[in-house]
Amino acid sequence: MTPIITIRGLSKNYGDKTVLNNIDLEVMPGQIIGYIGPNGAGKSTTVKILSGIIQDYEGEITVMGKNIKEHVLEVKSKVGYIPELAELYDLLTPREYLTFIGKLYKLSDEVIEDRSLKMLTSFGLYNNMDQRMDSFSKGMRQKVLITSGLLHNPTIVFMDEPLSGLDANAVILVKELLQALKQEGKTIFYCSHMMDVVEKVSDRIILIDKGSIIADGTMEELRQNNSDNLEQIFSRLTSNGDFVQKADDLAAAMNDRTSPGQYKSINE
């Protein structure tokens, strides 16, 4: 099978800071990829590069057989990008915002209207379709963002913390949505800090830290014959694990005490 995404030697620097360091990756179609890593690891940058938003990088990337630098518009029209709690023009109503987005993807008025209505209704926003979004909660905005990323029926969906602000029911709905999209053969690139969700929904998990891939495989492969869950694997690979000590330090600081071993990390 031909990979739907191929990344060769991807590097990205912001000034002196290296955000992505020589990443190689192949993604097969129809997979859900869980892309995880600590804050600042380079997850969002990867997703922005793969969505065609950042075009200033080193390395070669093909999406659906097209070099992204040479065919950025074709790639953008086939991928959906759902950022985490991104800003939207919230003086508009969801219906108006989706009409605007639909036009950017060259959808007809009828298709926009029909899809917006159905998708927002599924998200429980039917009654809010013509209400300005400046009064919306975080979760409601995120639902509109998800809808806007899927409105043009993309083949690949890049999701960056799509569950931010969503309530428990909406989280279940999005998890089911991921499975439904997978059934339709769509590839999903899913960034999140919610390890339990990533563990449950992903066919393959990629762990990135300091701009490099440090683990890549199915959940079973990552376990390496241990009974660890993803949270424990994540912690083992990306931190020195002294959480108990740090928690003690925090509690001690509140009570004007010094806990044994406090300031160890500073001194180190």
Partner 1 sequence: MLPSGLWRSLGADTDQLTAILNMRLMLDNRRPMGFGRRQAQKKDIKNGTLINTFMFGIMGVLYGIPVYLISDRVLSMVIYFTLIFLMITLTLITDFSNALFDNRDKYTLFPRPINDRTLVLAKLLHVFIYLLRIVLPMALPAWIAIGYLDGWASAVLFPLPVLLLVFMSLFAVNSVYLIILRLVKPEKFKDVISYFQVIASIVFFATVYLHPRKMFEMDPSNMFDASHFQWVKYIPTYWLAACWSWIGVPLTFGGGIFMSLLAIVAPLLCVIILVKYLAPEFSRKISGIDSAEVSHEITVIKNGKAAKPGKLYLKLANIFNRSDAAKAGFILAWLQTSRSRTFRMRVYPALAFVPIYFIYLLTQNGSSISEAYATLPGSSKFILLLYMSAYVLINALNYLIMSEQYKAAWVFYSSPVETPGNIMIGAFKALCVKLFLPFFTAISIFTLWIWGPKVIPDIFLSLVNVLLLATCIARISFRQLPFSSMEQIKQSGGKVIRSIITMLIPFVLGVGHYLSVHIWWLKLTFIFLSGALLWLIWDSYAGTNWGNIRKEDA
Helix (H) or strand (E) holding 181: helix 168-183
Angle, CA 224 vertex, CA 218 and CA 227 arms, to 5°: 95
Nearer to partner 1, 113 or 228 (CB): 113
Nearer to partner 1, 159 or 213 (CB): 159
Return d(Cα 87, Cα 85) in angstroms, integer: 7
Cα separation, 24 vs 259, whole angstroms: 44
Cβ atoms of 201 and 32 closer than 8 Å: yes
Termini Cα distance of the chain? 49
Q: Tell me, residue by residue from 205 to 224, as one string, x for binding to partner 1 by CB under 8 A and - for no binding.
A: --------------------
Q: Which stretch binds partner 1 (CB under 8 A): 13-21, 33-41, 103-111, 220-228?
A: 103-111
Query: Given candidates 30, 96, 223, 232, which one binds partner 1 under the rule CB under 8 A?
Result: 96
The answer to the question of residue 51 lying near partner 1 (CB under 8 A) is: yes
> Contact between 115 and partner 1 (CB under 8 A)?
no
70 scored as a contact of partner 1 (CB under 8 A):
no
Member of 3, 18, 53, 235 binding partner 1 (CB under 8 A)? 53
Distance CA 153, CA 73 (A): 15
Instruction: Show Cβ contacts of residue 246 under 8 Å, excluding neighbours closer than 6 positions.
Output: 265
Q: Which of 12, 95, 143, 186 binds partner 1 (CB under 8 A)?
A: 95
Residues that bind partner 1 (CB under 8 A): 51-53, 73-74, 76-77, 81, 83, 86-93, 95-96, 99-101, 103-107, 109, 126-132, 135, 137, 148
